[in-house]
């Protein structure tokens, strides 16, 4: 797997029309750059409370399944990235008030656990684990990476 290409013209590429230009990357790379998926998924992405996180994760999973039905791997992977980002961001806010991990001097601030955000993170983690174990998704991912990177 090569390095993620942040130099692509993300503002002018419709990745639904040009899936061959999509790179899976590592983790959440490109999650807020790849259209039209960002605009389709982002409005559903929330983690303020466990109830909000559950509704968000379910809505994104519905999109994931819709993309699967449309044989749209890029959409599936983008939905996975938003689920993963739900976990990582909720975890950041669970550990650090306001989501700020670093002080101005770049030192790590002390943790102050927010149980509500931790519960939100746990909800997203459940869905993320499900996606990481989805054999169909994993086969599609491997095939895409072999063709496109």
Complete DSSP assignment for 1-36:
-----TTS-GGG--TTT-GGG----STTTTTTTSTT
Residue 16 CB-density burial (10 A; 0-12 exposed, 13-18 middle, 19+ buried): middle
CA distances from residue 21 to 6, 14, 117, 144, 149 in whole angstroms, order as listed: 12, 9, 35, 10, 9
Query: Model confidence over 84-130: pLDDT tens digits?
Result: 999 999 999 999 988 899 999 999 999 989 999 999 999 999 999 99
Band of residue 83 on the pLDDT scale cut at 50, 70, 90: very high
Residue with tokens 């699967």: 68
> What's the pLDDT score for residue 2?
58
> What's the pLDDT score for residue 16?
96
Mean pLDDT, rounded, for 57-66? 98
Instruction: Report how far residue 16's alpha carbon sits from residue 75's, in angstroms, rounded to the nearest whole number.
Output: 8
> What's the pLDDT score for residue 149?
59
> What's the pLDDT score for residue 21?
93
> What's the pLDDT score for residue 147?
87
Instruction: Examine the pLDDT at 38 and tell me if it is beyond 60.
Output: yes
Instruction: Report how far residue 15's alpha carbon sits from residue 74's, in angstroms, rounded to the nearest whole number.
Output: 8
Domains of the chain by residue range: 41-148
| Chain-centroid distance, C-alpha 145 | 17
């Amino acid at each position: 797997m090569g390095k993620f290409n942040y130099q692509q013209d993300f503002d002018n590429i419709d990745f639904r029309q040009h899936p061959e230009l999509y790179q899976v990357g590592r983790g959440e790379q490109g999650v807020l750059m790849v259209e039209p998926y960002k605009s389709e998924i982002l409005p559903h992405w929330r983690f303020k409370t466990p109830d909000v996180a559950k509704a968000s994760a379910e809505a994104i999973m519905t999109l994931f399944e819709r993309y699967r039905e449309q044989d749209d791997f890029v959409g599936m992977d983008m939905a996975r990235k938003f689920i993963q980002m739900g976990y990582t961001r909720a975890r950041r806010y669970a550990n650090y008030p306001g989501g700020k991990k670093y002080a101005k001097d770049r030192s790590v601030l002390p943790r102050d656990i927010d149980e509500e955000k931790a519960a939100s993170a746990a909800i997203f983690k459940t869905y993320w684990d499900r996606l990481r174990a989805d054999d169909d998704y994993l086969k599609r991912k491997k095939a895409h990476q072999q063709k496109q990177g």
